[in-house]
Structure 1
Amino acid sequence: MHLSIEGHNIALDKDGYLVNLNEWTPEVATLLAEQESIALTPEHWEIISLLQSFYSEFQISPAMRALVKYTEKQLGAEKGKSIYLLSLFPPSPAKIASKIAGLPRPTNCL
């Protein structure tokens, strides 16, 4: 699988995650989100940035429970709820948000 941006092909694995994390750009994120039928808003970008910080700190993509806890710690109790994350990245916030953020698939997400 590939994404094409301005004639540049970006490799994706069989599940649609970036093969080379260094190829992530906001434009790539927008295309990946469109494939998930998501129009990115400032709230989405806030979580995408948060995920990238998590990955930078821990070198893994968070599973749902870790994502909720990290979001609560960083953004407060109102956004640190699975229902909030589910409203942004259905049907699986940890998987979908990690994909759009250019990160690997969380290891314990089916």
Structure 2
Amino acid sequence: MALEVNGVAVELDEEGYLMELEDWTPEVAKTFAAEDDIELSEEHWDIINFLREYYEEYQIAPAVRVLTKAVGKRLGKEKGNSKYLYSLFPFGPGKQACKYAGLPKPTGCV
């Protein structure tokens, strides 16, 4: 399975996540979002960039509960809650945001 981004095929796993972390670019995130009819806002990018930094530090994509807490600490309580995260990523902040960020599917996500 592959995703075409600016004429380049990017390999995806069977669930639609990037096979190689290095293949990620902001255009990949925009392409994933466009498939879900979502236009990425500054708020989306805050979460996407946060996830990429988190992954770089811990080598794991956080589960939703961990993500919510960590976002609250870093970006403020008003953003560190499920309601806010689901408003940005309606298909699940863990799964959808990690996919846009080019990360593997978080453990514990179905």
Q: TM-score range by the shorter chain?
A: over 0.9
- Where structure 1 has 5 or more consecutive residues not aligned to the other structure, the ranges are none
Percent identity over the alignment is 52
CA distance in 1, matches of 2:6, 2:59: 30
Letter in 2 for 1:33: A
Letter in 1 for 2:23: E
Q: Kindly report which structure 2 residues correspond to 1:27-42, keeping only aligned pairs within 5 A, or say none.
A: 27-42=27-42
Aligned to 2:87: 87
Structure 1 residue 69 displacement after superposition = 0.4
Aligned to 1:104: 104
TM-score normalised to the size of structure 2? 0.96
Structure 1 residue 36 displacement after superposition = 2.1
Aligned to 1:66: 66
C-alpha distance after superposition, 1:45-74 (max 9, x if no partner): 000000011101110001100000010010
TM-score normalised to the size of structure 1? 0.96
CA distance in 2, matches of 1:102, 1:6: 16
Aligned length: 110
- Where structure 2 has 5 or more consecutive residues not aligned to the other structure, the ranges are none
Query: Runs of 4+ in structure 1 displaced over 4 angstroms?
Result: none
30-39 vs 44-53, greater mean Cα deviation: 30-39
Letter in 2 for 1:56: E
Kindly report the root-mean-square deviation, in angstroms, between the aligned alpha carbons of the 2 structures. Answer: 0.8
